[in-house]
Structure 1
Amino acid sequence: FGSTGPKTEFHPSASLRVYAPFWKVWWKEILCIIASIASFIAIVIVLASYDNHNLPTWRFKITLNTFLAFFTTLAKGAFMLPVSLAFSQSKFTWFLKPNPLYDFYILDQASRGWLGSLKLLFRVRFKHTVTIGAILMIVSNLSSPVTQLAISYPLRNNTASEEEAKMFTIDEITLGHNYARKLAETASLKATLPDNGDYEVPAPPQKALCSTGNCDFGPYQSLGVCVKTANITSKLLTKPISNLTLDLFEDGNGGLIPGLKEWNVSLSGKYGMLHQSPLTVISGELEGADTFGYSNNTRLLKARLLFYFLIYTSPLSPSKTQNLPADSDAIDDVIDSITEFKYEAREVLFHICVQTFKTRVRAGLDETSISDTVSQIDDPSNGIVLGRKCTKEVCQPLEEPGDLVAQITPPNAGPRKFSASYATMWNMAMGISILLNGKAELRITPNETLNHFWFSSFPRAWYRDVTYSNKNVFNPPRREIHLNNFLLNIATSVSSDLRYTHGQDGRPGAVVIDGTPLKEVSYLHIIWGVDILHRRRVCCSSNLPYHRHCRTEHGISRNRTGKCLRPGGRKGFRFGNSCRPQQRLPRSLERWSAAGRYSSEDFEEITSHATTERT
């Protein structure tokens, strides 16, 4: 290696001697490249066939990750063999002209791993095709983790046919009279118990039966109870108090207290209240066919269950110099802060209707919305207005319902007919009205003690939780929202109990709507852009032997394109079109030229012609 003797003269060969064809010289490398390409194709085919599909279930518990790891490793190992051999080939072809012996070491290190390949790239600087192999050696270390990044396993909902998803609906109310009255009364009472944030939002409709916790339902319709509210404050009359009798003054039972100021307000002089507190509410049912806000809607009137009125005081906000009461303030502090108030009145109509719902269940939570409501009967001439006339002992329908039926046909109902008998509607109205009539008032007596009273559960709940909670006393918009949600909860509760009772008991008129049960499953998603690195690696490795295979003509290496490669010193080969003889190869090199490779016996003779150039 350190010889300083005279250089051996090379003389051009007399003729071009090529004995071995290309495929015989490189058959092992070709097989490896074919195996690498086949592995890559297998990976692409399998991933493409399962992309956006459920994960495969293979025999012997083989998973997709196992398959991918095996074939990625196979492709990597198969393509690295020709790259490594190409480096070994370069170690000999590099010394067709005397070059630094250090280059031999660099090429040898490049064939061993990515660190040596980095050294080769630094020395050659992308001026020779050997850099392709160096780049492939470096990239191969990134192929496996990058390939794994191309695969993700997101979740999605798939149909679970063996599970259950159903919703109860009704197109006819077939309960007995007493049962209908009891159901309406119980459902209304439940609605007065706030369980959803103090009436900030309305209570949800009936929940679906969904065994998986994830279900979808198409639009469906059901008969139920709806509510409308009309502002009738303009109908109120305020009259001076006159003709007070002794029986109006009672001790603690709702009567007037001597020494306190009295107020009197009414609707048309018929429905009103006499009170002594700035916080008072009264509710009652309208008699007969009386109505203040719906007199022009005959079809709606004949679908009614009952009308009732609400009259309540609305305290005016204190002046800016006065502090508003906080949530923690005592009720007497709240009353003391009230200096003025005004009256408000509402007419509330409960009626039968057909509602169109949209329901989806996600993670066990129902999301139901009402997309449409139809509340007018088909033929008003066949209906009646369910008014009432009452004596001290009993209340009777204004008109005898008999066998009359209220029928509602919404658009897109198909063959379904929605109806309810007026007799059943009357009994439902009686159940609801039991809770709606009453009065609530809070007063401070002359001896500075609190005196409050209420009749029935509805005024108590409305007074305490809706109208005069500390947050609502001086906030009319918020009070209006809570009031509407409170009334809507009553209608929703009655409708849900009707649907559930009919469906659970299998009564006539019950219709079960089947939904689509869903189950969360993992599926395969491929990011195809990530596999570009692997594709380019395979393509480059398949072309590398062609760049490394050069036939020898008069001591000059020629590649497959016909261009000559000349040794170019430290920085690589020079390319040219002329192939004039430069120097003769030793016999060992000529033997390699004939066989296509150097043999191990030729190494000593080759290195004897390598000179060490030092700067």
Structure 2
Amino acid sequence: MESSTKYEAVQNAEECTGQIVMETDQEESILLAWWKEILAIVVAIGTMIGLIKLLLFYNNKELPKWKGNLTLNFVASLLVVLQRGMLMIVIVEVISNSKWSWYRRRRPLKDLITIDDAGKGPVSAIQLMFRLPSNLLAILAAAVAILSFGMGPLTQQAVQAVPCSLVSKGARASIPVAQNVDHMSFRYGAHSYTLKPASVAKMFSGLTSPDGTDWKLDADCPTGQCTFKATYNITHSTMGICNSCIDVTSKVENKHNEYNLTTVSLPGSTRNITSGSDAIGVTNEYNQSWTRGMETHFDRVAPSAFSGLTIMSFTLNGCIPNGTDHLPSWYGSICQPGLENNPYYTMNVVASSCVIYPCVKNFYGTVSNGKFQETLISTVPAQEFKPEDPFGKITIINSPCVSDNQTLDNTVDISTLPNNAPNTFQIDILGRNVSVPVNCLYQMSGVDALAFGEFFNEYFDNSCSFYDRADIDSILCTRNNWYMNTLYNGGFASHASISAAVNRITDAATNMFRLSGLNWERTAPANVSGDVLRETVCAKLQIQWLLFPITLLSLSAMLLAATLVLEFPQNGRVGAVPVWKSSMLPLLYHGLGKLDDEPRDNFPRTLKELEKRAEEVEVRLGMGETHWGLIKEGLIIEGRTPQEQTKARKTEEGHVNEG
């Protein structure tokens, strides 16, 4: 750009003074004058955006392992240092430039040093805030300079290192399930089948050892932390054995015999127990129609059952000791509601009716701290069991199920699927053959179901007698009924304890299915795969700690914008102060002129002496008698208060205006 500056020799008619006058008509662009600061604020904003994106990218992820042992916190610190450096470029220039605007009016010369030093350190910035409270722009910029020291520590707080679990690539977890169950029994006669000894042992272990581990199963999880994909809160499904028990104590009938003993029984049941001689009795009854109408779910699943159990027991549950006894006993206790027509014994009676049936069990499972935990979410019962046709298959359509990324949650959804589709099996639904995805089908052999029925018929049709009437939990169970001690529950049997015991039997049977069952095609064991988690350290973003540097960045941008707005009206005006910022050249070219009565310096003054002299002089930027620059307006008279000095200054300005 060519300069439009012109130099003209000014001559007097009488003599040539030799004075050179410089004129300019060039108007400097405000944006060009501040381009470095604008670029700095843009870089600072870009740095902040990059920092936020970096932290968001690694949020809840494993801390990166970079070359040279660089850490995420170190990189974040570097970005903050860069951002603060860019902000200080802006802040220092805003403060420095404000001193020239400050001297558009008459000000103490000392203010020049106060403003100029403010960008050099926090102490000088604080001094500026107290000495020049009316210079708002400089004060705000000084405040940003002081607060910027907190950007680093607060940004460090934004990145927290927390323990976390992440998926381990290349490793898989699995839970055993059974989709097709067969060969759980063997034939020993015409239409006679019995369960294999391993199955019998598992079920009795479940009944008698609630805390045992031999009847339970575990998931395959190498690290002890594994998760499995869930649909409708269901992670895995399996063919199994279910039960439903209802409290039928209200149906108990009691009779008083000639020996003053009470006999209790249930309608439709062949088993009864008598106080004083019997303790507990169990009857295996396939037909339990006498319970119909007592509980809706029980009525719904009863037709699917291959066995039914009725359990009655005398119990001290609901009894409290009378007198000085610590525990209730068969004599002299207070029982609610108590057994009627029973003059010799104080006791209650409990009765439960249970049905055992094939079903699909839907679970939610996880492995945490090396422990496999699964929760039963829902069950789907089989259709009506027909013992007269043991060679058929018991097939159950699970609901909900997932096939080809499509969730089917009822038989209506399944019945709408196209026929003969791949990976389907023909089954009757609502009177028509439907191609059902094999993922939704579970099956067991009718022969195995018959063998389960034989098992309950053989072992669960007995009673136990009192062995020592003075001992609460002493009962005599012989031969095949030894297990009934568990149902008796030490003389405190309840419907809840009976239901829990029967539930352990069916859980143990289901676990046997899962350990020996196969997939639908019977080609391999069935299982559900999951993710193996590994313990590591992750980055956790605490975004609230970034609000502080974001606020300082925003304030710096606004201060720069305010400076540009204030400078724009002055741009190009005759006699206006140009954009000088922190340059020293204006002081060299437009420095303080000499007054005629001011003593001449024959040697350089110390900084302290210069500061002392500056405190006694008031100046402004403007056109003097000989040059444009810092013009002395007067001396500050020692002893005057600041208020008196201001009043004298205004008086002098008034006299000048009148002249």
- Please give the TM-score of this superposition, normalised by the length of structure 2: 0.63
2:50 corresponds, among 45, 59, 80, to 45
Residues 251-287 of structure 1: per-residue CA shift (max 9 Å, x gap)? xxxxxxxxx963323345731223406x92222323x
Number of equivalenced pairs: 513
Do the aligned partners of 2:243 and 2:355 also contact (CA within 8 Å) in 1? yes
1:56 to 1:40, Cα distance in 2 relative to 1, 3 A: farther
The answer for the alignment partner of 2:442 in structure 1 is 418
Q: How does 1:428-439 map to 2 (within 5 A)?
A: 428-431=452-455, 436-439=460-463
Structure 2 equivalent of residue 273 of structure 1: 273
Which whole-Å CA distance do the structure 1 matches of 2:324 and 2:482 have between them?
A: 29
Contact 1:359 1:368 in 2 (8 A): yes
Q: Which has the higher contact order (CA 8 A, sep 6+)?
A: 1
Percent of pairs identical after alignment? Answer: 14
In structure 1, the partner of 2:362 is 356
> Does the alignment pair 1:384 with 2:386?
yes
Deviation at 1:460, TM superposition (A): 1.0
Greater Cα shift, 295-304 or 533-542: 295-304
- Name the aligned partner's letter for residue 34 of structure 1: L
Aligned to 2:379: 373
527-536 vs 94-103, which moves further:
94-103
Asked if 2 retains the 8 angstrom alpha-carbon contact of 1:184 and 1:432, the reply is no
Q: In the TM superposition, what whole-angstrom CA distance separates every residue of 1:51-90 from its partner, at most 9, and x where no partner exists? A: 2543555444433322221121122123324533554565
Matched, 1:187 2:202: yes
Preserved CA contact (<8 Å) 2:357 2:382: no
CA separation of 1:57 and 1:514: change in aligned 2, threshold 3 A: same
Q: Per-residue deviation at 1:437?
A: 4.5
Match of 1:262 in 2: 261
Contact 1:164 1:210 in 2 (8 A): yes
CA contact under 8 A between 2:98 and 2:137: conserved in structure 1? no
Q: Deviations over 1:114-161 (max 9, x none)?
A: 333233223322444322321221221222233334445667665444
In the alignment, structure 1 residue 347 sits paired with structure 2 residue 370: no
CA distance in 2, matches of 1:502, 1:428: 16
Alpha-carbon distance between aligned partners in 1 of 2:465 and 2:625, rounded to the nearest angstrom: 120
CA gap 1:501/1:112 in 2 versus in 1, 3 angstroms:
same
Within the candidate set 232, 237, 250, 1:221 is matched to: 237
Contact 1:407/1:420, CA 8 A, preserved across alignment: yes
Relative to structure 1, the CA distance from residue 160 to residue 17 in structure 2 (aligned partners, 3 Å threshold; closer, same or farther) is same
Identify if the C-alpha distance between structure 1 residues 14 and 324 changes in structure 2 by more than 3 Å, giving closer, same or farther.
farther
Kindly indicate whether the alpha-carbon contact (under 8 Å) linking 2:254 and 2:264 is maintained by their aligned counterparts in 1. Answer: yes
Q: In structure 1, what is the equivalent of residue 394 of structure 2?
A: 406
Tell me the distance in 1 between the aligned counterparts of 2:178 and 2:43: 62
The 1:134–1:301 alpha-carbon spacing in structure 2 relative to 1, beyond 3 Å, is closer
CA distance in 2, matches of 1:92, 1:409: 87
Q: CA RMSD in A?
A: 4.8
Match of 1:454 in 2: 477
SS in 2 for 1:147: helix
Q: Distance in 2 between matches of 1:516 and 1:449?
A: 51
- Specify the alignment match of 1:312 in structure 2: 313
Per-residue Cα deviation, 1:541-573 (whole angstroms, up to 9, x for no partner): 64487568977977664789xxxxxxxx99xx9
Q: How many Å separate the matches in 2 of 1:240 and 1:101?
A: 120
CA contact (8 A) 1:181 1:430 kept: no
Asked whether 1:486 is paired with 2:485, we answer no
**Distance of 1:152 and 1:210 partners within structure 2:** 29
Contact 1:360–1:367 (CA under 8 A) maintained in structure 2: yes
Question: Matched residues in 2 for 1:43 and 1:324: separation?
Answer: 78
Matched, 1:238 2:237: no
CA distance in structure 1 between the aligned counterparts of 2:242 and 2:50, rounded to whole angstroms: 58
Offset, 1:310 = 0.7
Amino acid of the structure 2 residue aligned with 1:47: I
SS of equivalent residue, structure 2 residue 196: helix
Distance 1:131 1:445 in 2: 95
Contact map agreement 1:50 1:56 (CA 8 A) in 2: no
Whole-Å Cα distance in 2 between the matches of residues 349 and 111 of structure 1? Answer: 87
Instruction: Report the Cα offset of residue 191 of structure 1.
Output: 1.9
Structure 1, unaligned runs of 5 or more: 1-12, 198-202, 243-259, 386-398, 473-478, 561-568, 574-578, 594-605
**Aligned position for 1:427:** 451
2:263 is matched by which residue type in structure 1?
Answer: N
Per the alignment, do residues 97 and 91 of structure 1 end up closer, same or farther by CA in structure 2, a change over 3 Å counting? same
Q: Name whichever of 176-185 and 115-124 sits farther off.
A: 176-185
2:269 & 2:138 partners in 1: Cα distance? 107
How many angstroms does 1:488 deviate by? 1.3
Alignment-derived partner of residue 39 in structure 2: 34
Residues 1:374 and 1:489: Cα distance change in structure 2 (over 3 Å): same
8 Å CA contact retained: 2:77, 2:152: yes
Q: Does 1:63 align with 2:71?
A: yes
